[in-house]
Amino acid sequence: MKILLQHRVEGEQLERLENILGDEHTYIMANSRDEIAEKGNDADIFFGFCSEDIFPLLANIKWIQASSAGMDKHMYPAMRESDAVLTNAAGLYGTHVADQAFALLLGLARGIHHFTRNQDNHKWGGSKSPMIEIDGFKIGIVGLGGIGMQMVKRAKGFDMYVIGVDAYRTDKPDNVDELLPMDKLVDVMSRVDVVMIACPLTEETRGLINAENLSAMQPTAYLINVARGPIVKEDDLIEILQEGKIAGAGLDVTETEPLANDSPLWDMDNVIITPHAAGGSQHRMRRITEFFLDNLERYLKGEALRNVVDKQLGF
């Protein structure tokens, strides 16, 4: 069996890979599309980001271990119609993406973005918005997967009352105060101090956050999106922010990336933007590679793989 590695595997992890493969199986590393075209035609397993232009180069592929958690960029027709098993990195991004969500919330609540701008101008000045404590907030978390549950963990550190909204989950975790279905989203958004989005982007969640439910939010509430940009109708959000109907938004993702230079979001005092950076961590590639190696052992032993994606649901 031949394994094609788009991501470099080194050191102890490379030793582990070689021990798993033994003399029976082989691996190759190919970083560029040209290298994949040259070496990938007979590969059985692929580890990396299998974009729509790479997939046709993998004529013999049986299993793809994606290095990302979100699967929206993998849900092209050829992938969905293929027999290839697709597994993702769900659960491996939870800690640092949840960190980013709370960094955005704290930045907005404490006016950190205003102070940073003052610092750039060597100005000793105050915040343009009230200084808010987040301790004891009510938080609505949309999507209780790996990232959502890490948000729950952090929320409880701030003594928050946690309401989870999930389209599929029915078992309420002990540290979640309420678990409600997606049709209760408007009600939840009207009750909480902050809404954090942690659900995958699917046809069902595209445009999920819109004028209707944004208008239901309290004028002191915040919206945080570290999931996927198209989950939020950006024009609706801009209008809500311009009219001061919510206190602010922290956005790691936008509807179109990179965000257009002329977007009003750039200049808003009640918005913090980070450039799809929540996935960054010093531990990310180590975790993902370890997960791949664990799954590879399972695959070669004929055991069930972890994180198999339902290609019809899109996650």
- Catalytic positions are 228, 257, 276
* 252: its two tokens: 């790691």
The β-bridge relationship of strands 222-225 and 248-251 is parallel
Q: How far apart are CA 152 and CA 135, in angstroms?
A: 14
| Residue length of the chain | 315
Q: How far apart are CA 83 and CA 206, in angstroms?
A: 26
Q: How far apart are CA 51 and CA 128, in angstroms?
A: 43
Q: Is the separation of the CB atoms in 234 and 264 below 8 Å?
A: no
Rounded to whole angstroms, the maximal C-alpha distance in the chain is 66
Q: Which long-range contacts (CB under 8 A, 24 or more apart) does 234-240 make?
A: 234/265, 236/209, 236/210, 236/211, 237/209, 238/263, 238/264, 238/265, 239/211, 240/211, 240/214, 240/215
Classify 140 as helix, strand or coil: strand
* 57: its two tokens: 């180069």
Three-class DSSP labels, 228-287: CHHHECHHHHHHHHHCCCCCEEEECCCCCCCCCCCCHHHHCCCEEECCCCCCCCCCHHHH
How far apart, in Å, do the first and last CA atoms of the chain sit?
27
CA-CA distances (angstroms) from residue 196 to 23, 102, 103, 133, 233? Answer: 48, 9, 12, 17, 15
* 54: its two tokens: 């790479």
